[in-house]
């Protein structure tokens, strides 16, 4: 129940009426703890990290939602957390950076390249391959080596 499960279904009556015929329901993942679906992925990966004996998790984030979810679960599970974020994104998403730091995460502004998510992913991958014995990469997108971890 930590992530706020189960999230309700909401009948979008006016949208259903506008479309005519189909009944549209919205799954309210925005009501999860941290305010997004990102926490579903993060809690599963962080639990796996603990199961395989990792004490440190890292992540990358652009808008900050994945970083906030990762920092939240790391705090809950007692894991060290480092979040890589493009320096331009750090400036644009100051509130999410504040939330991550408040939760105990170290936020690393990435100043190379375009200073955005792509470069944050590169830095996170560099960290992970350098610290693979102690670190689990809680990747925030549908990319990664197979099998992962």
Domain 37-137 part of CATH 3.40.50.1100 = yes
Using a pLDDT cut of 70, give the percent of the chain over it: 92
The pTM is what? 0.84
Chain centroid to Cα 140, Å, comes to 5
Judge whether residue 79 has pLDDT over 90.
Answer: yes
Can you give the residue ranges of every domain in the chain?
1-31, 37-137
- Cα separation, 69 vs 59, in Å, equals 10
Q: What are phi and psi of 136, to 5 degrees?
A: -115, 130
Residue pair 116/126 in contact by the 8 Å Cβ criterion: no
Quote the pLDDT of residue 31. 82
Quote the pLDDT of residue 34. 77
- Give the lowest-confidence range in 37-41, 65-69, 73-77, 135-139: 37-41
Question: Average pLDDT of 114-138?
Answer: 95
């Amino acid at each position: 129940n930590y992530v706020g499960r189960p999230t309700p279904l909401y009948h979008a009556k006016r949208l259903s009426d506008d479309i005519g015929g189909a009944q549209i329901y919205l799954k309210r993942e925005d009501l999860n703890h941290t305010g997004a679906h990102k926490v579903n992925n993060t809690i599963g990966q962080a639990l796996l990290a603990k199961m395989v004996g990792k004490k440190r998790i890292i992540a990358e984030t652009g808008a900050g939602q994945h970083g906030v979810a990762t920092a939240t679960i790391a705090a809950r599970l007692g894991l060290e957390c480092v979040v890589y974020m493009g320096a331009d994104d750090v400036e644009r998403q100051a509130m999410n950076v504040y939330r991550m730091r408040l939760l105990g995460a170290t936020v690393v502004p990435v100043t190379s390249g375009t200073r955005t998510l792509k470069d944050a992913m590169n830095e996170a991958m560099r960290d992970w391959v350098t610290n693979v014995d102690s670190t689990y990469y809680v990747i925030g997108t549908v990319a990664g080596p197979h099998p992962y971890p």
